[in-house]
Structure 1
Amino acid sequence: MPSTKSYGTPGASNEKIGGVPVLHYFDFQSRGRGQVIRLLWEDAGIAYNDIRYSFEEYPKYKATKISELNPTTNIPVIELNGRILTQSYAILRHFARQLGKYDGQTEEEKYWADAMCDIVVDWRTLFITAFFSENKDTTYPQHCKGNRVRFLKAMNTHLSSHDASRSGPFIIGANVTYADLVLYQLLHDEQLTQDGRAGLKEYPRLKELVDAIENRPNIKAFLGSERYLG
């Protein structure tokens, strides 16, 4: 059976988004596209219900419960007061708009956050392909030496050179966006935020962003809690 847990106490942020959301996602520790939604909710102080499916049991629910919620049968899926929300990055942008933050104030800031998110989406696709390959022992090391290095260099350069990003520590400067959380989550999933940031020693601007994310009070508390599963 999927595990179901409730976190937080509903408050002002829940009122802004219209209630207490229910997240359907894999039981994949603290990883993946569903996890970044949790990070946004944690940072914003949103209470939520968390339903996790093991990889073994998911095919059964994919053919029943999930297919009823989402015709593509993909997760994460969110239920919120009778509404069904799908597509993780659209979900993040939707909540950012409802909360009135996390996506920039000016059109230039919104564009830059969206652009950085889209780069990370491209990177994640390559990461997933290599990590879940039948030949992972070969494909993932190749990814780490090839595409991962290419994207690390590109993102570090973007954040070091763009006018908004140079005022740091986040993508648009002092204010965190959903795109910062998307980037952080992929760096986490690639095992680059752990072990003293050893994997980011050549990318100081990315390390600065990771440190800033993890020092945000609600996220820091989350990472130190039993809710964070590694």
Structure 2
Amino acid sequence: MPHEFTYDIESAANKAIGGVPIIHYFDFQSRGRGQAVRLLLIDAGAAYKDVRYTFEEWPKYKRSGPVAEMNPTGNIPVIEMPGGKILTQSYAILRHWGRQLGAYDGKTEDEKYWADAICDIVIDWRTLFIAAFFSDNQKEDYPKHQQGDRKRFLNAIETHLKGSDLSRRGPYVIGSKMTYADFVLFQLLHDENLIQDGRKGLQEYPRLVQLADAVQSRPNIKKFFSSDAYLG
């Protein structure tokens, strides 16, 4: 059976997004696209309920039952909102909640474009990471990924952030304002084990260290990382 628990208490942020979300996702520690969704809620001070499935039991729920009916693609995360509203596609969910909260997005078209562009780059990187990490030949494929595609994307994003007039204004993707793209990038850095152990995996990338430090030092996120709810 899936593991269920609720994080935090209902707040004004929950009112803004339409209630307390129920997040259906893998029991994958604090990792994956579903975790980026959680981080936005945590930062905003919103409560949520988790329903976490093990990799072993997920195929059964994917084939039939409520989750399969909620999303015909069979992909998670799937979000249940009060009143029967169903949300799918993690990056669309992040942008949707950002608009409802009046935050986590740029104000100008240039800011919105830059957040979207960095997010798209991270999506491309995550696709390659997942393919290598879950490969049947992981012992060979993942080290190749680390030295190949991962290094290429790290170099590219570091260069983008250093070279952008927007990114130079502060620690985040568009400078001084947090956007959904920061959660997406931070979470992949986490999933690739690059921010752990004193940011050892990012020694060559000071701009990415700056971003990771800024995200993880935000009060609600810092509290979460120190709580039992965070699973490394």
- TM-score normalised by length of structure 1: 0.99
Aligned to 1:71: 72
Number of residue pairs the alignment of both structures matches: 230
Deviations 1:99-120 (A, max 9, x none): 0010111111111000000000
What CA distance in whole angstroms lies between the structure 2 residues aligned with 1:12 and 1:135?
A: 47
Identity in percent: 65
Deviation at 1:66, TM superposition (A): 1.8
- Deviation, 1:215, is 0.4
Pairing 1:136–2:112 present: no
Question: What is residue 104 of structure 1 aligned with on the other side?
Answer: 106
What do the CA deviations read for 1:105-164 (whole angstroms, capped 9, x no partner)? Answer: 111111100000000000000000000000000000000000000000000001101000
Cα distance in 1 for residues equivalent to 2:214 and 2:228: 21
1:54 corresponds to which residue? Answer: 54
Q: Could you tell me which residue of structure 2 aligns to residue 194 of structure 1? A: 196
**Residue type matched to 1:72 in 2?**
T
What is the CA RMSD across the aligned residues, in angstroms?
0.6
- Cα deviation for residue 6 of structure 1 reads 1.0
Q: Which runs of 5+ in 1 are unaligned?
A: none
DSSP 3-state at the match of 2:166: helix
Deviation at 1:63? 1.3
Shift in Å, 1:67: 1.2
Show the counterpart of 2:175.
Answer: 173
1:8 CA displacement: 1.2
Instruction: Give the distance between the partners of 1:129 and 1:20, measured in 2 at CA.
Output: 33
CA deviations 1:163-190 (Å, max 9, x no partner) are: 0001120001111101001000000000
Give me the TM-score of the superposition, normalised by structure 2.
0.98
In the other structure, the counterpart of 1:152 is 154
Partner residue of 1:224? 226
Match of 2:206 among 184, 204, 207: 204
